[in-house]
Each structure stands twice: as C-alpha cells, then as structure tokens.
Amino acid sequence: MSPRFVKSKHFFEEGTIESLAEVSERKGKVWDAGAKLDVVGKSVKRIDGYDKVSGTARYTFDINLPNMAHARILRCPHAHAKIKRIDFSKALKLKGVLAVHTHSNTKRIPWFWNISSLYDTHLRYEGDEVAAVLAESERIALQALKLIEVDYEELPFVIDPGDAMIEGAPKLYDDGNVMRGKPDIYERGDIERGFSEADYIVEDSFSTQVEIHHPTEVHCSVVNWDGDHLTVYDSTQGIFSVREQVARSLDIPESRVRVIKKYMGGGFGSKLTTGKYTVIAALLARDTGRPVRIALDRKEMHMAVGNRPDSFQTLKVGAKKDGTLTALSHYSRGSAGAYPSGAGCSWPMRSVYKCDNVKTTDYTVFVNAGPGRPFRAPGHVQGTFGMDSIIDMIAEKAGMDPLDFRLKNYAEIDQVANQPYTSKKLREAYEAGAEAIGWKENRQKVAGSMPGSIKRGLGVATQIWWGGGGPPAYATLKLNRDGSVRVLAGSQDLGTGTYTFIAQIVAEVLELSLEKISVTIGDTATCPYCGSSGGSTTAPSVAPAVKDAAEQMKEKLISAAAAHMELSESGVRYSKGKIIDTEDDSNSIDIATLVRKMRERVLVTTGRRSQNPENYSINSFGAQFADVEVDIETGQVKILKIVAAHDIGRTLNKQMMESQFYGGIIQGVGFALLEERVIDPFTGKIANLNMHDYKIPTMMDTPNMEIIIVSKSDPMISNVGAKGIGEPPMIPTAAAIANAVYNAIGVRIKSLPITPDKILNALYA
C-alpha cells in the first residue's frame, strides 16, 4: 500500500501548471460539519432517473451501429489443456461468417502481465478464450463456434488452493502455483511475546466461498474504427484504463482510442480491468472494416470475468483477563484462479482492533478456475468474517459482551501506519447501532430462548475501508450565456448516481436549479481525466473537483460583475445566480446577462481534487448488527433486521446513499447465506453454471434494513468532506449474521455460506 510514485508539487493539466498552495487556498472553502446546504445531502431525484425507468437510457448493451456485426468467443471446455490442433475452415465457410480469430492467425498480444496472451495455447481453466467468430448475427456466430474443431491435450488440474500448494500438484506455471512464489507477510511488535502475555488464547479456522459478481448488465463492448481512430463503447468502471490497455494491446497511441460509457448496470469490481473481449472485438473490427458488438452471456459472466477469491483462514488471538488483546495472528490462503489477482484478506485483522503484536500471512494461489477480480471490498468481506468470528469467540472466553469487548480494544489511531485518522466515528456507530437493534435489552433475552424450533439471536461486526479518494481528478465547468451550465468529468456512473451528485454540487455552489445543469461523464475524448470507479473513490475524488470548478466560476463571476458595476469585489454578493450590490439590493446583474456583457460566449473553469493531508489516514468505519431467526428443524436462517451504522463523512444524496447501503447489505446476505460457485473436483467444471443453481438473494431474502449515518463531514479530506460508500456496506454483513446465528443456536458455523445443511450437521454433531 505504500505509495512509490513521485509526488509532484504541481498539478499539470491542459497546459496549466498550478501549485498545490494555490489549490489548497481554494480548498479553504470547505463544507465542514456545520455547513448549511440546500441541495447536497438531500434526496434529490436522480437526474437520469426518467431515462432509466422509461427505457430510453442507452446502455452499452443497447448500442446498435449501422452495419454492425456480432462476435462470440469459443471457450475451453476443460479445466486445464493445451491446444494441439485447431481447424476453423468449416466455420469460415458458414454463410454469414465474416472472420475467425485464434492464436494461429493473430499477432501475439501479451495479457495478464505477459504470463499469458490474448489467445494462449495453454488453457488454464474452463472458460479460457480459444477463438472468436465474427458474423452477421449472434446466432450465426454461435453456430460457427460449433464448427471449430479443436484437439485438446487434457492436462492434470487442481481446483483447491490447499491442494495446489502441495509438492507435486499440477502446475499452472513453471514457477509453481503460489503467486510471486511467497506469501505476503505483515508483522508488527512481537507476536510470540504477545501470546505469552495472554490469559486466554483462541485459535480456529474459517473458510469462505468463491462468489461471482453477476452485475445486472453483462460485460459488453461495441467497437468502431473510423480510419485509424477507434471508438470503444464499453461497460466499464474505468474509461481511461480501458483506453490505455486497448491502445497498448493494439500498439496505437492513446489519442486514437476513444472510450465511451454512458450508463452501466453495475460492475462490483468485475469491470475494473479491460476484458479480453474488448480487444478481441477491436481486432475483428479492424480485420473486417465492420463495427463489432460483443456481449457475454450469463454463462460467460459466471466463468470468465472474475470472482471473489475463496479463503481458508486460520486465526489465533490472545487476550488478557480484562479483555485487552495481546496478539493477533492470521494465516490465509485464497485462489487467484488461473491468472494473477490478489486473494489476501488480512487487512481487517491488521487494522480494526488495537493490538501491538500482529502477524499476518496471506498466500495467493493459482488454481484451474476462472480468474479472480476485485469484488466489492476485496479481502475485507472474507477477512472480516474470520476476524469478527474469532473476536466473538475470545470475548466469550473472557466472559465479556461482544460489543464491550470491541469497545475495550478500540483503535484510536491507525494501527498499521501508526498515525491519526482524519476522522473516526466508529464508537458512535457502535453506540447508535446497538441502540437501534436493542442490543443491551435483547441480546441475552432472545439468545436461543424461544420455545419451539425457531431460535433467535443478535450479532455484531465491524467495518473498516479506505475510500478517501484523491487526485488526480478534474472537472470542467462551462457556463453558457443563457445561464445554463455543462459539467464535464472523465468519471463514470456505474448506476450509483455520479451524474446526480455532480449536478447537486454545482447547483449548491452556484445556487442554480438542477434543470439548468447538464452533466457529461464517461467519454475519454471530451472529459478531463478522472480515475477508475473502484475502491469507493469516485465521489470523494470527483465531487471536490466539481466543487472547485464551481467555486472558481463563482469567483470569476463576482470579479467580473464588480468590475462591470464599478464596485469593489467586497461590495457585491452572490445569490441565486445574481451578483448584487451589498448596499443596494435593486442594483444587480444576473449571470446570463453578465456573460453577454463580458462579450463571452462560454465561461470555462477547471477544478481539481486537492491532495490529501499528509501523516493522516483516511478510512471509513461502520458497525452492523444482525437480528436473525434460525429454524433448528430445517436449518433455515431468516434475517429479521440489519442495522447499519456507519461513518462515511458527508452524505451527498440521502436516497442514493441509502440505496448503496441496501445493495451492499443484500449482497452481504447473499455471501452469508446463499451464493457459492461450485466446481466438481473430478471434472474441474463448474457444477452450478446458471442463475437457478447459483443463488442470488431475491426480494424474499431481503431483510428489514435500518441505515444510520453518524458523520456529517470530514473536512480534512477535501472541500466536500465525503468518504466513499460503494464497498463499506457489504463488509461486515456476513460476519454480523454469522455471529447472530451463533447467538441463536450456540453452535458456530465457520464456513460460508451458512446453508441449512451446515446448520443441521453442526447441531447434530
């Protein structure tokens, strides 16, 4: 995590060089906790809401260009194989087929950090790309795939990371199956001394499953060459990172690649990196001169575009009689799948609770299965389940209430960086959440006490995440001479509400109605740079840049109006799109007239995200409480309620914030109780390759949810004071549910998902 980049003292952008001090001075206009805001924070309706509910919003999947052809991919049916021979002559002869690409007729393009290639002959999982067909229709392309003859040499395979680490296991790479050849080790203090000082020690193992992202909109690209310029419509979380990867793969300048993404139906991390399918489509398009659409189907989504790595964790904790933690040790191994992707999950153990002696060891292991990808709080969801399970176990051993135990070991400062936080309101979150769930009154009362087969219990778990955002992120604001505004930012909306919060911020600063503000994002050719939407960084990075642009515009307008009115700048004030003489309210000019009087057509400002403060850590925090019922006859778990109390800095839009929480908690319920990719160990093939057998929560599984925000703003981060909330809502949900299940039935389920069979087996063991 340590930044190794060169820190510039300046912002460079579009020919301007501006010192940090200049930006920081503007940052002086900070919305602190007491700021009275009219638009920001309110449940403003999404500005793109009508387009979406009326069906007029065009997602990448909906884009249909004239003369467009359709591509589909042939995928390896085996867990591990080599291509001995491939013959696509029959496929090429099928009427309507335009091209077939495979390793034999395509230039080698490095992929996965050059340990593989776009079309590799060594196939490492069921779903690995073998060839692609371009045809007049998707149906013809699918028919043609069946006509491609491939002789595979099947190889021995390994699915379980534990098996893959054993000497003599089938190897995916010559260097062996452990990524980078060694574990990621973190240590502070003296772990042995920590355990020797403990009065209680608890050690246990936990496991979590592979989870598939399954966003609503499938992965999809539409590509079009115009001479040597390529336009890529892509369902992506990072338009600029796709531009970079596509340009590199095709060996053309980034300036000749334009990536556009207007709307997206979710990504959850699976759309953070460029997919092979995008480059495959670009090559087919270049070869045939046709616009090309490629959309993956649900099976491909399941196999080949990422997953949350599984985990096997052994945790050991020591505590004194009074509950003070003396040592924390965490071992994990998790699967990267067949290609590099981090599977470590020890960050919660390193950072949540106060402890001087900590050691964590994370192995990321290659296996013959679909590659992992970041998935909504990568590592933290798995790691929090292990950590907060064992914390409950040692609290019980020490005879303490789980919440009291957590408060006893509250970390006032960042345990890893050994420095203060810009803000931390976790204590307030514990207290507010406990109050809302009725922790003190109900926990002892309900625990397993109900007569009959239904047992009820309460559980708690803790959330930590980064999500402070940071530079570089820019926003350009254009004020037209009718007084309307267009904002441009190279960010992207995953469905989370980026369009709307950008408009809200401009409306707030310039005191304009939302109808006057239009927002353009998701276009690398027209928008200034913003980073990928990952790590819960979008709002905390982009919102401050937008505010900066709007504040600069307001300053320009005040200055110009004062000159025009022959008053000093302090002799005028800005209100609702007008500049007014402070001594005579009737003497004023509105901004539209002002722009005309300035003989300007459009006024332009560019705002920047300021640097984060040095020597402070920026994290978000939260506590979730679960109230569950377990039927000990059927093993069914019913979640009555989840209370989520979080510190997120400033809320930009209450309704959209709550929606993020609902989505995260529901995804957490899926992880806790339902979702699991199952691979048959004998064939290496996925056994539940459909949405019927892979269970995603439905309305029927959605619990009652109460969202409590304990923070108002974190003014040290930025002029806006917002922390990201994409990932935090999901982090503690499964752990809180698991602890509640234990409270209900007195038996701990140490393996997710908590399915009825596991509960019944544990009860009768």
Burial of 241 (0-12, 13-18, 19+ CB in 10 A): middle
Classify 117 as helix, strand or coil. Answer: strand
Do the beta carbons of residue 233 and residue 261 sit within 8 Å? yes
Other CB atoms within 10 Å distance of the CB of residue 193: 13
Could you tell me which residues come within 8 angstroms of residue 197 by beta carbon, excluding any fewer than 6 positions away? 318, 320, 326, 327
* 171 membership: H or E segment, kind and range: none
Out of 535, 649, 729, 753, the only residue in the binding site for ligand MOS (CB under 6 A) is: 535
In the complex, the smallest distance separating the C-beta of residue 723 from ligand MOS, rounded to whole angstroms, is 14
Q: Judging by beta carbons within 10 Å of its beta carbon (0-12, 13-18, 19+), is residue 758 exposed, middle or buried?
A: middle
The residue ranges of DSSP E strands in 155-228, in sequence order, are 184-188, 200-208, 220-226
Helix (H, G, I), strand (E, B) or coil at 207: strand
Beta-bridged to residue 111, according to DSSP, are 116
d(CA 508, CA 177): 54
Q: Calculate the alpha carbon distances from 87 to 92, 101, 161, 348 in Å.
A: 10, 11, 35, 51
- Per the listing, tokens 């592979």 go with 210
- Contact between 375 and ligand MOS by CB under 6 A: the answer reads yes
β-bridge mates for residue 463, sequence order: 622
Q: How far is the CB of 125 from ligand MOS (least distance, A)?
A: 21
Strand-pair partners of 85? 151
Judged by beta carbon, residue 323 or residue 534, the one nearer ligand MOS is 534
| Residue 531 near residue 498, CB atoms below 8 Å | no
Among all chains, which residue has been given the structure tokens 């503690």?
732
Q: How far is the CB of 372 from ligand MOS (least distance, A)?
A: 11
Residue 510 near residue 554, CB atoms below 8 Å: yes
Side-chain half-sphere CA neighbours of 317 within 13 A:
28
What are the backbone dihedrals phi and psi of residue 468, each rounded to the nearest 5 degrees, phi first? -85, -15
Given the complex with ligand MOS, which of 649 and 684 has the nearer CB atom?
Answer: 649
CA distances from 391 to 349, 357, 409, 718 (A): 10, 15, 10, 34
Distance, in Å, from the CA atom of 719 to the CA atom of 707, rounded to the nearest integer, reads 25
In 3-state terms, what secondary structure has residue 3?
coil
49 with 510: CB under 8 angstroms? no
| Residues designated catalytic | 727
Residue 49 or 342 with smaller CB distance to ligand MOS? 342
Q: Which two tokens stand for residue 660?
A: 């993020």
Q: Which of 224, 236, 237, 541 is the binder for ligand MOS (CB under 6 A)?
A: 237
Residue count (the chain): 765
Cα–Cα distance between 274 and 251 in angstroms, integer? 15
Q: Which stretch binds ligand MOS (CB under 6 A): 5-13, 368-376, 413-421, 445-453?
A: 368-376
Counting contacts by CB under 6 A, is residue 293 touching ligand MOS?
no
Q: Which residues pair with 186 in a beta bridge?
A: 360
- Minimum Å gap between C-beta 213 and ligand MOS is 9
Q: Could you say which of 73, 135, 198, 272 contacts ligand MOS (CB under 6 A)? A: 272
Under the phi-then-psi rule, with left for phi > 0, alpha for psi from -120 to 50, and beta for the rest, what region is 578?
beta
Nearest to ligand MOS by Cβ — which residue? 269
CB of 765 to ligand MOS, least distance (A): 36
Helix segments in 411-523, DSSP class H: 426-437, 439-446, 498-510
Total residues in contact with ligand MOS, by rule CB under 6 A:
11
Interacting residues with ligand MOS between 241 and 270 (CB under 6 A): 267-269
Residue 374 binds to ligand MOS (criterion: CB under 6 A) = yes
- Which of 275, 534, 607, 724 contacts ligand MOS by CB under 6 A? 534
* DSSP structure class, residue 514: G
* Near ligand MOS in 455-494, by CB under 6 A: none
In whole angstroms, give the CA distance from residue 392 to residue 401. Answer: 8
Interface residues with ligand MOS (CB under 6 A) are 237, 267-269, 272, 374-376, 378, 534-535
